[in-house]
Amino acid sequence: MIKKLSLLAAGALLGSGLTTLALSGHIPMLGSAVAASVDTYRELNLFGDVFERIRSDYVEEPNENSLVEAAINGMLTSLDPHSSYMNAKNYEDMQVQTKGEFGGLGIEVTMEDGIVKVVTPIDGTPATKAGILAGDFITAIDGTDIQGMTLQQAVDKMRGPVNSAITLTVQRKGTDKPFDVKIIRDVIRVQSVRFEVKDDVGYIRISQFTAQTFDGLKTSIDKIKAAVPADKLKGYVLDLRNNPGGLLDQAISVSDSFLDKGEIVSTRGRHDADTRRYAAKVGELVDNKPVIVLVNGGSASASEIVAGALQDHRRATILGTRTFGKGSVQTIIPLGSNGAIRLTTARYYTPSGNSIQAKGIHPDIEVLQDLPDELKDKVTETKGEASLPGHLKSETQGAEGSGSQAYVPPDASKDKQLNMALDLLRGLQANAAFPPKGDDPVPN
C-alpha cells in the first residue's frame, strides 16, 4: 500500500510539471484538464459551505465526525455497491474477520428474545473447557445485563486481549437460577474449512476465505487421504454454497490445490497496466481424483473464482444453481487512524476470459432443492449482484442474471445437490457433464 501511495504522489508531481510545460505553448491540449480541476475545487468549496451551514443552523447540534463519515461514505457508495468507508472500529473488525483469528472465547452465538444464545462452543477453546454448552443463554457479561445490547455489541464485549478474564452469567435449561462462569480469553481461529469422510468420498466445506483457509483445506485433504486408501477414494465434493467470499490470495491457493497448470484468474482495472494474471503452480493436492463443486445463489466473489477456474479448465463439475455474480475487486486503502476505504479497483475474469460480474457462474448440472412446506411461500433466492442498484456492468458477452436459489437443507439426507454429487462420484448416477471432458479452457 505504501508503494501505491508513493506512486500516486509521484503522479501528482508529474501533473504539476505538465501544467508548467503547458504554459509555454501547449494550452489547447491541456485546457480541459485545467478547467476540470477548477470545477472540482469549486465543488469542494460547495461541500465546505454546506457543512458549515449544517453546523451552524441545523435544529440540533450535529455530530461533526458523523457528518464527515456520512459524506465520505456517500461519495464512495455512489460509485458501486461495494465501495465504502470504514471508520477505525469497522476497519478493525474487518481485519479480524479476514485474518481468521482473534482473542475471544470460542463460541458461535445468536440473539433470541433479546438474549444471547450459544449455538455451539468450538472444540478445544476456552468456552468448551469452561463447560459452556450449546443452548446456554448468556444474560450478562462482567455483570452488565445483555438486555438492550445488539448481538454485535455483545460479541465485541466477549472479545478481548488474550489471557484476559471475563465472567459470563449463564442461564441453562434445567437449572433453577443463572450462574457465573469465569473464562480466560485465548486465540480463537475461525474454522473456515470443515471436512467429513462420507465412506469413500471426501467432503470439504469452505464457509469463507480467510487467511487460514488454505491451511485448513490442506489439513482436511491430508486427513481424508489418511482415512481412506487411495484405491478406495472415489473423489471429492467441494462445498462452496452460501460462501460470500473473502481473500483473493486464498481463492487462488484453493484453486491451485486442484490444478496442475494454467491461469486461475485475471484482474483487470481501469488501465491496461493494472491487469494481473495468476497461474497455477505445478503439482496438485488431490492426486487427480474427480472433483464436484457445489454452488448456489449465495456463492460469491472468491467462491466464484474457484468455481470458474475449475470449470474452465474442466477440472471439476460445477453442480447446484447459478452463483451470485460478484466479480469485482475491492482494494482496502488504510487512512491512518481514520479507518480505511474499500474501493472497487478491478473486475475478475475466469481463465476463458469471461467476466463473473453481474452474471455469475452457471453450473454444469443445475439441481434445485425441494423446499419444506414452511418455506414454499417465502423468499429462498438471492437476488444476485445484477439486482443491486448501481452495480458494475459485465464487460463480456452474456445476459446478466436475476435471482438464484440459495437454500441448503439442514438435514443432509434431504440435500439433493450433495446427494447427487455423491451418487455421481460413486457411479450410481450418470450425467454428460461428469466427468468433464477436455483439457483446455472453455473458449470465450
String of DSSP letters for 194-215:
EEEEETTEEEEEE--B-TTHHH
Helix count (H) and strand count (E) of the chain?
Answer: 10, 21
Grid cell 433453577 in the structure block, residue: 176
Q: How far is CA 63 from the centre of its chain?
A: 32
Catalytic pick among 83, 253, 299, 301: 301
Catalytic pick among 239, 256, 312, 415: 312
Cell of 37: 480541476
Enter the DSSP assignment of 113.
Answer: T
pTM of the model: 0.78
Distances (CA, A) of 158 to 117, 154, 185, 375: 13, 6, 9, 34
Per-residue pLDDT, 441: 57
Q: Are 296 and 404 in contact (CB under 8 A)?
A: yes
Q: Are 76 and 83 in contact (CB under 8 A)?
A: yes
Concerning whether 383 is annotated as a catalytic residue, the answer is no
Q: To which H or E segment does residue 412 belong?
A: none
Q: To which H or E segment does residue 288 belong?
A: none
Distances (CA, A) of 307 to 167, 197, 261: 44, 22, 16
Spell out the CATH class of 193-426: alpha beta
Give residue-wise pLDDT tens across range 32-61: 444 567 888 888 899 999 999 999 999 999
Concerning whether 312 is annotated as a catalytic residue, the answer is yes
The answer to whether the 101-189 and 193-426 domains have the same CATH topology is no
Per-position pLDDT tens, the chain of length 444? 333 332 222 222 322 222 223 322 333 333 444 456 788 888 889 999 999 999 999 999 999 999 999 999 999 999 999 999 999 988 988 887 788 778 889 887 888 778 898 877 877 889 989 999 988 999 999 999 998 888 888 988 998 889 999 999 999 988 889 999 999 999 887 789 999 999 999 999 999 999 999 999 999 999 999 999 999 999 999 999 999 999 999 999 999 999 999 999 999 999 999 999 999 999 999 999 999 999 999 999 999 999 999 999 999 999 999 999 999 999 999 999 999 999 999 999 999 999 999 999 999 999 999 998 887 776 667 778 888 888 998 776 666 766 799 999 989 999 999 999 999 999 999 999 999 987 655 544
Concerning whether 378 is annotated as a catalytic residue, the answer is no
Give residue-wise pLDDT tens across range 390-420: 899 877 666 676 679 999 998 999 999 999 9
- CA neighbor of 103 nearest in space, from 163, 62, 49, 150: 163
From 2.170.190.11, 2.30.42.10, 1.10.490.10, 2.40.10.10, which CATH number describes the 101-189 domain?
2.30.42.10
Alpha helix ranges (H) inside 23-114? 27-57, 64-77, 88-99
The residues spanned by each domain of the chain are: 101-189, 193-426
Per-residue pLDDT, 439: 62
Catalytic pick among 198, 234, 289, 326: 326
For 442, counting Cβ atoms within 10 Å of its Cβ (0-12 exposed, 13-18 middle, 19+ buried), the class is middle
Residue 202 has φ and ψ, to the nearest 5°, of -90, 120
Per-residue pLDDT, 437: 86
